[in-house]
Amino acid sequence: MVEAVSKAQACVVNISSEKKAASSSRWPFSPEENQRPRVNGMGSGVIVDGRGYILTNHHVVDRVAGVQVQLLDGTSYPARVLQFDPVMDLALIKVEPTSPLPAIKIGTSADLMVGEPVITIGNAFGYENTVSVGIVSALHRDVTLSDEQVYRNLIQTDAAINPGNSGGPLINIEGELIGINVAVRAGAQGIGFALPMDEVKRVAAEMLSTRRLAQLWHGVVAAETMRGPRRVLLAADVQRGSPGEAAGVRPGDELVQIGAMPVSNAVDVERAFLDARPGTPMKVVVRREGVDATLAVDVRPLPDGATLAAYEQTDPIWDTLGLKTSPASGDDVSSVNPKLRGGLFIQAVSPGSPAAAAALQRGDILVGMNVGDRNWETIRPDNIMYVLRQPEAVQTDSALLYVIRRNGLQSRRISLADPRVKNIIAQ
């Protein structure tokens, strides 16, 4: 435990901010933000790149007038918010350090076991760099804080998490980051929650992407997988016409090194490309059929007039129906119907989308679809696209969705007539 803390503690920061309080009846005619009362806020964060990139919770830096970051040695820097994802409750902030900062080693939450020892570090109640120890109490917990904030698939731990710990790390006994502390059960003892690292990595990689931070494009989509006993990082996709494709990177290649950085997760890939500049190719080492090959990826600016979304890893379900989903287990739906094997939590609904028009809500669980008198289960996100590409769906203008809401099964009819939907279905 001592060794794990010594590896990670310098990578944890304390975050103080001046939050803008919500408007109240005392200020009914003062809509300007700078006329609203302000309250002090505090939280924690974890350094994921030595150049000053820090992950924290979105709620720690939401609606703030200023963010100040303090390191373990007492050094303080002003920070700016670069990216945020309210659904995941993550934010990426940046400081400009005078020398490289220590970055935490990123682990995985895929192999966590109930009873496994874990450690939290953070700014608990304003007591900086507080360390607490516990175990993984449960996995795949769902927590509803309000109608606006629903968390899915959390790690539950009895390691003490208090106000001010939000955004700080949950680490294993190797000192690796396995989660981001996010919530505590008010009034309870030993019940705290953290975002699982494998879900955090997906969002954090997007926040750190060269597309978002530098308007540059490499086109390599990375994903972790197991090859026998080894966890490896693969090029899961190489976008068509991208610099990665031009350099010879192929889907299925194992990514070993980019520039001088060995890579083991998607966050590493984006960190490695942050210093890339057009005209100066980055050395990319890939392993193909057991043989290492060195390729040269020359990043390019996004074409003039191109939208950033066109070059991001697309989500066809969001593009077609306006839904962001995550898997639900059989235990989440069996109380409604024991024959149900699982479903999809609805995490977000896009305004103006077919899903919004069908009155689907965040927190619903999508368990099935009916198109042309045929029923399909929806257990994985790709089940939705499979159904939409059936001949019956192509030939009709609507589908029936079965959702669980407040422990009851309901049906919602969703339009498939939108040209955007038809275009993606036809692909």
In a domain, 115, yes or no: yes
Give which of 103, 105, 61 is closest to 82, Cα–Cα. 61
In a domain, 173, yes or no: yes
CATH number, residue 84: 2.40.10.10
Asked if 326 and 400 sit in the same domain, the reply is yes
Asked if 323 and 237 sit in the same domain, the reply is no
Q: Which residue would you say has higher pLDDT here, 426 or 225? A: 225
In a domain, 310, yes or no: no
Q: Do 210 and 276 touch, CB atoms closer than 8 A? A: yes
122 bridge partner residues: 130
Q: Do 294 and 281 touch, CB atoms closer than 8 A? A: no
Asked if 320 and 419 sit in the same domain, the reply is yes
Asked if 111 and 50 sit in the same domain, the reply is no
In a domain, 31, yes or no: no
Q: Which two tokens stand for residue 380?
A: 């994985």
- Note if 140 is an active site residue: no
Q: How far is CA 239 from the centre of its chain?
A: 21
Candidate list 17, 44, 109, 166, residue with the active-site label: 166
In a domain, 274, yes or no: yes
Distance CA 145, CA 336 (A): 23
Query: Model-level pTM greater than 0.85?
Result: no
* Helix then strand then coil, % of the chain, to nearest 5: 20, 45, 40
| Domain that includes residue 153, residue range | 105-201
Asked if 320 and 421 sit in the same domain, the reply is yes
Asked if 255 and 292 sit in the same domain, the reply is yes
Q: Do 182 and 166 touch, CB atoms closer than 8 A? A: yes
pLDDT tens string 180-234: 999 888 777 889 999 999 989 988 998 999 888 888 989 998 888 877 788 889 9
Distance CA 357, CA 360 (A): 8
Could you give the percent of the chain with pLDDT greater than 90?
48
Domain boundary (173, 201, 229) is at 201
The mean pLDDT of 401-412, rounded to a whole number, is 90
Task: State yes or no: pLDDT of 303 exceeds 80.
Answer: no
Distance CA 160, CA 135 (A): 10
Domain count, the chain: 4
Asked if 262 and 185 sit in the same domain, the reply is no
Distance CA 345, CA 361 (A): 10
In a domain, 27, yes or no: no
Distance CA 68, CA 17 (A): 6
In a domain, 159, yes or no: yes
So what's the pLDDT on residue 169? 97
pLDDT tens string 227-266: 778 888 998 888 888 999 999 999 889 999 999 999 999 9
Could you give the percent of the chain with pLDDT greater than 70?
88
Residues 6+ apart with CB under 8 A from 8: 104, 105, 119, 121, 169, 171, 175, 177
Distance CA 156, CA 193 (A): 5
Give which of 183, 160, 307, 284 is closest to 233, Cα–Cα. 284
So what's the pLDDT on residue 327? 76
Domain boundary (301, 336, 360) is at 301
Q: Do 34 and 54 touch, CB atoms closer than 8 A? A: no
Asked if 84 and 13 sit in the same domain, the reply is yes
Using N-to-C axis directions, what is the helix angle for 197-207 and 266-273, rounded to 10°? 20
Asked if 66 and 141 sit in the same domain, the reply is no
Asked if 336 and 245 sit in the same domain, the reply is no
So what's the pLDDT on residue 44? 96
- Note if 59 is an active site residue: yes
Can you point out the beta strands (E) in 176-303?
176-184, 192-196, 216-217, 220-227, 230-238, 254-258, 261-262, 282-288, 291-297, 300-301
Domain boundary (239, 274, 301) is at 301
Element (H, E) at 54: strand 53-56
pLDDT band at 306 (very low <50, low <70, confident <90, very high): low
Candidate list 59, 209, 253, 268, residue with the active-site label: 59
pLDDT band at 389 (very low <50, low <70, confident <90, very high): confident
In the Cβ-directed half-sphere of 220, how many Cα atoms lie within 13 Å?
A: 38
Q: Do 155 and 196 touch, CB atoms closer than 8 A? A: yes
Residues 6+ apart with CB under 8 A from 177: 8, 46, 48, 104, 105, 106, 107, 169, 170, 171, 197
Asked if 118 and 179 sit in the same domain, the reply is yes
Distance CA 86, CA 186 (A): 21
CATH number, residue 278: 2.30.42.10
So what's the pLDDT on residue 362? 82
The mean pLDDT of 49-54, rounded to a whole number, is 97
Candidate list 17, 44, 49, 89, residue with the active-site label: 89
If you search the block for the tokens 């191109």, which residue do you land on?
Answer: 306
Q: Which range, 114-118, 127-131, 385-389, 423-427, has the best average confidence (pLDDT)?
A: 114-118
Residues 6+ apart with CB under 8 A from 132: 119, 120, 124, 159, 160, 161
Determine phi and psi for 266, rounding to 5 degrees.
-65, -30
- Note if 76 is an active site residue: no
Asked if 90 and 111 sit in the same domain, the reply is no
Distance CA 200, CA 262 (A): 20
In a domain, 309, yes or no: no
